Amino acid sequence: MNFELTEEQILLRDMVRDFAEKEIAPQIGAFEDSHLFPAEIIRKLADLGLLGMTIPSEYEGIRTDYLSFILALEELSRISPSVCLIVSVHTSLFSKSILEFGTPALKQKYLPRAARGEILGAFSLTEPGAGSDATSLKTKAAKKGQEYILNGTKSWVTAGSEADAILVFAQTERPEGPAKLSAFIVEKNFPGFKVARIEEKMGLHSSLTAEIALEDCRVPAENLLGEEGRGARIAFHLLDGSRIGIAAQAVGLSQQALELAVRYAKQREAFGRPISEFQAIQFMLADIATLVEAARLLTYRAADCYDRGLPYGKEAAMAKLFASEAASKVATHALQIHGGYGYSKEYEIERIYRDTRVLSIYEGTSEIQRLVIARNLLKDS
């Protein structure tokens, strides 16, 4: 067992940390407050190569080991979980789906541009009436000549209004048996594609979550990803990997909450001394730090399984479950340490508290993670 990061992993982590502190931190507050998409920041991340971290060099990306990728997401999230989420969806859901399931033509069509950041990708599984129950989607795809015609409403699409292309899941009819899920790459300029509205959310304001309306949306048949009817397998496979990214997002947010809580506890005085000298505060800090470290280790361990080619579905679910729920506890304690100021928008912990809440909901709720873990356990024995 070895808990040391390699020299390159440290170099990458420190570079992203440095970039996030100097280039993202001074600006992101304004984007969050005004619900604006941080396009310029995403472009700079593309220049550094961070949008191509899951794409191999033959498609102009620079694919790193998964742990390096996870470290980068953690550092982005420490300063901006919105930016982290946009990058995570583009790399570990959109780009990775085409790399693993796309035809050579589809890869050529999208991956080099995705790696360079010339196009931004998104992912769309959820619908107004289908979240955890992903196989009960209502959106239909009917083949007509050399096209599929898509009809339906997709919801909770991260960066959906900004993305150039979206991995969309829809039901394809079969002559025999019930309809089955299929996956399509849908571009925003395909006829019949419309951004219906932007959700007003509790947090992650600058990640712009959209509802998409598909009205006789015409998608070229070549944009079918994988075979017809294999959509569920594609979705679940992708989510297994991207969950490690959400765990990293939770760790980054928790780390920042910890740092803010420590700093505040040392500065704030009550009853004639810094509140950090009170055991009640010290115990909260100790609990926070322990949760952060445990979440981080589970997350790195899941990424390590991925890198070693070992099964990682259960490990990813455990990391996502634990890290997301830990983040909520960490944020609650950290805000408590800030007292009344923690409830003020002037302090960063207020935003962190709101941002953490969704972590145990999206990309598989905590309940779904427990199902995944339990199924793995029962299958093994």
Catalytic-residue membership of 228: no
Give the 3-state secondary structure of residue 55.
coil
Q: Are 321 and 92 in contact (CB under 8 A)?
A: no
Q: Tell me which residues touch another protein (CB under 8 A).
A: 7-8, 10-12, 14-15, 18-19, 47-50, 52-53, 62, 64
Candidates 213, 220, 212, 214; CA nearest to 143 is 220
**Nearer CB in complex with another protein: 113/370:** 113
**Nearer CB in complex with another protein: 38/342:** 38
**Nearer CB in complex with another protein: 21/173:** 21
The contacts of residue 29 (CB under 8 Å, 6+ apart) are none
Shortest distance, position 286 Cβ to another protein, whole Å: 18
Pairing verdict, β 140-144 and 147-158 = antiparallel
Shortest distance, position 317 Cβ to another protein, whole Å: 28
Say which DSSP state 59 is in: G
Task: Bin 217: left if φ > 0, else alpha if -120 < ψ < 50, else beta.
Answer: beta
Residues in the chain: 381
Shortest distance, position 49 Cβ to another protein, whole Å: 3
Of the residues 74, 147, 350, 363, only one is catalytic, namely 363
Shortest distance, position 65 Cβ to another protein, whole Å: 11
47-162-40 Cα angle (round to 5): 35
**Nearer CB in complex with another protein: 33/47:** 47
Burial class (CB in 10 A: 0-12, 13-18, 19+), 107: buried
Q: Which residues are catalytic?
A: 363
